[in-house]
């Protein structure tokens, strides 16, 4: 059985009296350590699919299994622990907290962990991750003092802070220049290779998608092989 | 590493004006609470202590002098009133009366009759007294002689009787002040006491008007064990038309009645301040909830539990509530000390609040401020706690 199993999942949103189907009867198995890319037009349901896998919105029908467990049978607290300790998120925009420095933003997910590692270790790890994304000199900078690309890189580093088994990345390099985009992609591939972290990455960039092991296309809420 | 505490403190500092307004509102509420509770407690406590320490079950005074007697006893006012001594015998004859003693009230006028500041002089019967003696004998240890006086606790201070053996001129007669009473917490604290045997010389001096040799001001009565003082008081009023009687528990009734009206006004003020503070906290936290919903969504998405969100916002609201309440307690105590002097009833009270009473008032007011703060923020925080993280992602 795969690490992630999406079993006949559908998701409808109700807007006034209308039901809008964002994901339709999607089924997918993703093995541990895979690097999967999802491509598709805007509004095709990619972000909703990531949210379903990430335990952020429950499906209208179907199941989402993580290591064999249906995550939507879990309590709210267990789902939070799953998001905190098993999954690293990279949103479409940086989504940093404005009153925390770059380093504090990285350390925030650690504060939500049930079992915390020693403080000193976390600080060093945050420094190392910021160094890895090229922001060693911005450790104490607030988001407002960073460019859009730098903020995006802080958010990328934050996703790795709790050593997640799974990274869900929603157009993670959207704000980056070509050179930095390539550097970040190399970073992702290295983390995938060295740590066995599973990646599911939504992207519009077909060059980036070609570098992944499995490519899936979404069209009008349905999954198709790319 | 940022903890929920450091994060909460950063949030509080983020909008100093808004935080300041909230703290000010809570401080205002708490100070109003402290002031009102202090006022009511002080008046209530003073009346209770005065009646408890009176030593008599019943007070018999001339008709229509009930209010004046209460004012002397509770508010340290200077008043005189007289009735005939024969009333004592009629009271003694009533069923249920065990012991009684009489007092005569005189008023000094500086420069005309006396060398002491204007105050009450109380002549008491040393043979039958059970009111003054318990406060007196520990200090003087003997019967007062003719031409000897003792002063109430506060009078002693006022006329510097700490220098015992000082001579004073009272109603044309020289009196040697030989001691002072212990603090009684009643109007007796501001009076000067002399033995009844001094009255003939005082009357003969012509310095006291309207006082006849067979006049007395008040009869203090102890009833027999098991007898209800109220029934004896009713009996006095039924049988002696020239006298009014008050049972000990009824002393201060008029003041308490006035106080109840004032308490209602204070209660209304505190309720209005509470409602105002509640809605202010609610409105500000609703604004905070709207403003920070994206941040909460981010936190939920990266693993914050509902309890983390609750804790974070409750730390913020509690810090504001606690700081506001502490400021309010200090301001309220200050207001009580300064503004209560503007209330005659409080200025003339003989008792101050004890430290423990002040601590209870501070604790009640503190809790009141903190609870209003938490209640006001409850609904917006509950809404934030339930926020779906997907909202953040969709909102991007």
Query: Mind listing the pLDDT tens digit of every residue in chain B (396 residues)?
Result: 667 888 888 888 888 998 998 899 889 889 988 888 888 777 777 776 666 666 788 889 999 888 888 877 777 677 888 999 999 999 999 999 999 999 999 887 666 667 666 778 889 999 998 888 777 655 667 788 888 888 887 766 655 544 444 677 777 777 887 877 777 666 777 788 889 998 888 888 877 778 888 999 999 999 998 899 889 999 999 999 999 998 877 776 666 676 677 778 888 888 888 898 899 889 988 988 888 888 888 999 999 999 999 999 999 999 999 999 999 999 988 888 777 666 666 665 656 778 888 899 999 999 999 899 999 999 998 888 877 776 655 654
* Residue-level pLDDT at B164: 42
CA distance A134 to A141: 14
Beginning with the edge strand found earlier in the chain, give each strand of the sheet holding B218-223 in spatial order. Answer: B166-170, B173-180, B148-151, B192-195, B120-124, B97-107, B218-223, B58-62, B243-247
Task: Give the count of beta carbons closer than 10 Å to the beta carbon of residue B141.
Answer: 8
Measure CB to CB from residue A97 to each of B3, B295, B390 and give the nearest one.
B295
Any idea which residue has 């509640």 for tokens? B278
Give whole-number Cα distances, A5 to A56, A159, A166, A169, A210, in Å. 16, 22, 13, 18, 23
Q: What is the ipTM of this complex?
A: 0.91
Residues of A in contact with B7 (CB under 8 A): 99-100, 108, 111
Of B245, B128, B134, B249, the closest CA to residue B184 belongs to B134
Any idea which residue has 């000897």 for tokens? B148
Q: A57–B302: do the CB atoms touch at under 8 Å?
A: no
Give whole-number Cα distances, B351 to B10, B263, B355, in Å. 46, 19, 12
Q: What are the structural domain ranges in chain B?
A: 4-48+255-395, 55-250
| Residue B36: alpha-carbon gap to chain centroid | 10
Q: Are B172 and B113 in contact (CB under 8 A)?
A: yes
Of B106, B99, B113, the closest CA to residue B72 belongs to B106
Q: B307–A113: do the CB atoms touch at under 8 Å?
A: no
Domain A4-225: top CATH class: alpha beta
| Residue B63: alpha-carbon gap to chain centroid | 28
SS3 A40: strand
Q: Are B20 and B96 in contact (CB under 8 A)?
A: no
Collect all residues from A whose CB is shorter than 8 A from any CB in B.
47-48, 50-51, 54, 56-57, 76-77, 80-81, 83-85, 89, 91-93, 95-100, 104, 107-113, 119, 122-123, 158, 162, 170
Of B273, B278, B290, B298, the closest CA to residue B381 belongs to B290
- Please identify among residues 13-42 of chain B the ones whose CB lies closer than 8 Å to any CB of chain A: 14
Q: What is the mean pLDDT of each run of 10 residues along chain A (226 residues)?
A: 88 85 92 93 90 92 94 93 93 87 93 70 91 92 92 93 93 84 90 92 88 91 82
Measure CB to CB from residue B2 to each of A56, A100, A113 and give the nearest one.
A100
CA distance B228 to B220: 15
* Residue-level pLDDT at B165: 46
Q: A111–B389: do the CB atoms touch at under 8 Å?
A: no
Tokens of B93: 């004859």
Smallest CA–CA separation between A137 and chain B, in Å?
A: 18
Q: What is the pLDDT of residues B60-111, one digit of tens each?
A: 999 988 888 887 777 767 788 899 999 999 999 999 999 999 999 988 766 6
Measure CB to CB from residue A80 to each of B3, B10, B305 and give the nearest one.
B305
Q: State residue B80 phi and psi, 5-degree precision.
A: -130, 150
Tokens of B387: 């926020």
Tell me the β-bridge partners of B103.
B124, B218
Beginning with the edge strand found earlier in the chain, give each strand of the sheet holding A69-70 in spatial order. Answer: A18-30, A4-15, A61-66, A69-70
Cα dihedral A126, A132, A137, A142 sign? negative
Any idea which residue has 């409808």 for tokens? A12
Tokens of A98: 């404005």
DSSP characters for B80-139?
---EETHHHHHHHTSTTEEEEEEEEEEE--BTTTBSS-S-EEEEE-TTT-SSSHHHHHHH
Residues of A in contact with B299 (CB under 8 A): 97, 108, 112
As a whole-number percent, the residues of chain B with pLDDT over 90 amount to: 24
Q: B10–A95: do the CB atoms touch at under 8 Å?
A: no
Asked if the C-beta of B396 comes within 8 angstroms of chain A's C-beta atoms, the answer is yes
| CB contact set of B216 (below 8 Å; sequence gap of 6+) | B82, B83, B84, B85, B87, B88, B102, B103, B104
DSSP E strands: which ranges in chain B?
58-62, 83-84, 97-107, 120-124, 148-151, 166-170, 173-180, 192-195, 215-216, 218-223, 243-247
Q: What is the pLDDT of residues B197-236, one digit of tens each?
A: 988 888 888 777 788 889 999 999 999 988 998 899 999 9
Any idea which residue has 């509102």 for tokens? B25
Tokens of B199: 């009255």
Parallel, antiparallel, or unpaired: how do β-strands B97-107 and B243-247 relate?
unpaired
């Amino acid at each position: 059985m795969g690490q992630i199993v999406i079993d006949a999942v559908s998701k409808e949103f109700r807007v006034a009296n209308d039901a809008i189907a964002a994901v339709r009867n999607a089924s997918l198995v993703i093995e541990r350590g895979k690097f999967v890319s999802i491509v598709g037009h805007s509004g095709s349901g990619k972000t909703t699919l990531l949210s379903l896998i990430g335990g952020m919105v429950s499906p209208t029908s179907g199941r989402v299994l993580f290591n064999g467990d249906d995550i939507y049978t879990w309590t709210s607290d267990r789902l939070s622990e799953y998001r905190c300790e098993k999954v690293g998120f990279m949103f479409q925009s940086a989504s940093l907290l404005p009153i925390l420095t770059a380093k504090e933003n990285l350390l925030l997910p650690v504060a939500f962990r049930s079992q915390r590692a020693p403080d000193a270790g976390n600080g060093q790890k945050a420094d190392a991750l910021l160094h890895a994304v090229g922001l060693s000199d911005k450790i104490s900078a607030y988001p407002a003092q960073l460019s859009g690309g730098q903020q995006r890189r802080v958010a990328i580093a934050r996703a790795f802070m709790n050593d997640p088994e799974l990274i869900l990345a929603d157009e993670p390099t959207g704000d980056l220049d070509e050179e930095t985009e390539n550097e970040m992609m190399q970073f992702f591939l290295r983390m995938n290779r060295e740590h066995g972290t599973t990646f599911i990455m939504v992207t519009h960039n077909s060059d980036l998608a070609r570098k992944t092991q499995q490519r899936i296309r979404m069209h009008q809420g349905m999954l198709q092989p790319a | 590493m940022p903890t929920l505490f450091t994060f909460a403190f950063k949030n509080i500092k983020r909008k100093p004006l808004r935080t300041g307004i909230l703290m000010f509102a809570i401080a205002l509420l708490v100070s109003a609470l402290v002031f009102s509770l202090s006022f009511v407690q002080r008046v209530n406590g003073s009346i209770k202590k005065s009646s408890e320490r009176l030593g008599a079950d019943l007070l018999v005074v001339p008709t229509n002098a009930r209010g004046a007697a209460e004012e002397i006893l509770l508010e340290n006012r200077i008043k005189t009133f007289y009735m005939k001594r024969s009333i004592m015998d009629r009271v003694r004859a009533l069923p249920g009366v065990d012991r009684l003693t009489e007092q005569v009230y005189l008023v000094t006028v500086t420069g005309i009759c006396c060398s002491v500041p204007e105050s009450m002089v109380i002549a008491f019967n040393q043979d039958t007294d059970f009111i003054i003696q318990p406060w007196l004998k520990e200090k003087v240890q003997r019967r007062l002689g003719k031409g000897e006086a003792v002063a109430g606790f506060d009078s002693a201070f006022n006329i510097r009787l700490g220098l015992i053996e000082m001579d004073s001129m009272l109603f044309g007669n020289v009196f040697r002040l030989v001691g002072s009473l212990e603090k009684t917490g009643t109007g007796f604290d501001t009076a000067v006491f002399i033995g009844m045997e001094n009255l003939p010389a005082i009357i003969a001096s012509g310095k006291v008007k309207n006082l006849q040799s067979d006049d007395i001001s008040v009869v203090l009565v102890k009833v027999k064990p098991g007898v209800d003082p109220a029934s004896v008081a009713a009996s006095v009023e039924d049988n002696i038309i020239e006298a009014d009687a008050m049972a000990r528990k009824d002393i201060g009734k008029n003041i308490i009645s006035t106080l109840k009206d004032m308490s209602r006004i204070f209660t209304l003020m505190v309720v209005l301040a509470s409602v105002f503070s509640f809605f202010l906290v609610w409105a500000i936290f609703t604004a905070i909830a709207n403003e920070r919903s994206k941040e909460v969504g981010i936190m939920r998405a990266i693993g914050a539990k509902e309890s983390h969100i609750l804790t974070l916002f409750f730390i913020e609201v509690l810090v504001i509530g606690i700081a506001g309440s502490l400021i309010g307690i200090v301001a309220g105590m200050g207001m009580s000390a300064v503004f209560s002097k503007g209330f005659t009833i409080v200025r003339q009270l003989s008792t101050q609040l004890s430290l423990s009473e002040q601590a209870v008032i501070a604790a009640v007011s503190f809790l009141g401020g903190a609870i209003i703060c938490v209640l006001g923020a409850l609904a917006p925080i509950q809404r934030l706690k339930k926020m779906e993280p997907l909202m953040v992602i969709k909102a991007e």
